[in-house]
């Protein structure tokens, strides 16, 4: 883990005791300056490690030009999905933090940073990473990824129930470098179709840009990725029947409130009320736990995973 420690130092870590001192730290002075100047910035480092045998994100990024490009694209698309589009942040460096891959991100907008933190807390970042990695790396199974999130000396995974505190730590952790030249090159590759006979991954501007960041694709149609409504809950509860538990477990992959015995507890608690009420309470529990991150796209994905595409179509278009 020595490389990881050195990497953290390189992005501006200060000793914990110094950070907690009553004296004004360098980061606090920077934060005051950015607030007074009207420009919100901050820096965080996300560490990634694949837990799937045969898939080593660090090795892919280090050892093969094509692998480097694909892994970077997976990271870029994940940030687009989790931070609400192409703006509001930039990747400064991707670094060897063995056994992790370290991704240093500079946030340029408080709203984008908050949306990313909400996605990270809900598990949506893991979901996006898995989806893009499975597609771009042509994996036969879902990719499981371990992540860690730091801002300066602070491990943000410990404070995810306090988003304002996480935002403060990120804001106080100001980047001390410009974007790495390697990242400039990779960003250029994403926007420039490759020439020559060798097969290359599609660029962001071809496939992904056809779907706006606040939308998602289902059955070759594009839908607005809005928050779940009372009508959605009613349609789901009317149509899911005995499959509600399976959908609940699919949602539970990215929702902590539905993990462990939560589904069975709901089944027991509302057994007398019947299937409609059990399904209704399931989706309400999801909405209460996820807040603004309880989007229609996540329910549709869970329904697809459970082979309930007809129900997904009915919820998206009640007239069909």
pLDDT in tens, 253-287: 888 889 888 999 999 999 999 999 999 999 999 99
Burial track 147-166 (b if 16+ CB lie within 10 A, e otherwise): bbbbbbbbebeebbeebeeb
234 and 200 in a common domain: no
Same domain, 199 and 229: no
pLDDT at 210: 57
Residues 27 and 168 in one domain: yes
Query: What residue has token string 């420009």?
Result: 39
Q: Is 288 exposed, middle or buried (0-12, 13-18, 19+ CB in 10 A)?
A: exposed
Name the more confident of 72 and 37: 72
Q: 150, 179, 210: which is the final residue of a domain?
A: 210
Domain residue limits at 161 = 2-210
Give the model's pLDDT for residue 16: 39
Q: Which of 23-37, 97-111, 122-136, 159-173 is predicted least confidently?
A: 23-37
Q: Mean pLDDT over all residues of the chain?
A: 80
DSSP per residue, 294-320 = -BHHHHHHHHHHTT-HHHHHHHH-TT-
The predicted model scores a pTM of: 0.53
What is the per-residue pLDDT across 120-153, written as a single tens digit (0 to 9) for each? 999 889 888 888 888 888 877 778 889 999 998 9
Last residue of a domain, one of 210, 227, 243: 210
Residues 163 and 236 in one domain: no
Task: Supply the CATH number for residue 280's domain.
Answer: 1.10.533.10
> Pick from 190, 210, 230: which residue ends a domain?
210
């Amino acid at each position: 883990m020595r490389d990881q420690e050195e990497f953290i130092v390189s992005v501006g870590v200060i000793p914990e005791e110094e950070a907690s001192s009553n004296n004004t730290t360098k980061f606090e002075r920077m934060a005051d300056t950015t607030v007074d100047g009207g420009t919100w910035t901050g820096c965080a480092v996300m560490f990634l490690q694949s837990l799937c045998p045969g898939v080593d994100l660090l090795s892919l990024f280090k050892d093969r030009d094509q692998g480097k490009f694909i892994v970077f694209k997976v990271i870029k698309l994940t940030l687009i999905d989790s931070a609400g589009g192409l703006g509001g942040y930039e990747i400064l460096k991707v670094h060897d933090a063995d056994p992790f891959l370290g991704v240093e991100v500079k946030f340029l907008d408080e709203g984008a940073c908050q949306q990313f933190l909400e996605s990270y807390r809900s598990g949506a970042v893991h979901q996006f990473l898995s989806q893009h990695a499975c597609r771009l790396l042509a994996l036969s199974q879902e990719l499981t990824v371990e992540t860690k999130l730091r801002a300066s000396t602070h491990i943000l995974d410990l404070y995810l129930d306090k988003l304002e505190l996480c935002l403060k730590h990120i804001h106080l952790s100001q980047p001390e470098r410009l974007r790495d030249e390697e990242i400039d090159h990779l960003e250029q590759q994403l926007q420039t179709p490759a020439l020559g006979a060798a097969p290359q991954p599609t660029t962001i501007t071809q496939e992904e840009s056809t779907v706006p960041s606040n939308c998602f694709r289902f059955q070759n149609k594009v839908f607005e990725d809005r928050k779940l409504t009372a009508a959605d809950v009613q349609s789901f509860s009317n149509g899911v029947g005995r499959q509600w538990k399976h959908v609940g477990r699919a949602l539970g992959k990215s929702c902590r409130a539905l993990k462990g015995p939560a589904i069975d507890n709901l089944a027991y608690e509302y057994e007398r009320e019947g299937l409609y009420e059990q399904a209704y309470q399931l989706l309400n529990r999801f909405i209460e736990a996820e807040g603004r991150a309880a989007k229609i796209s996540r329910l549709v994905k869970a329904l697809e995973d459970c082979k309930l595409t007809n129900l997904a179509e009915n919820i998206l278009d009640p007239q069909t």
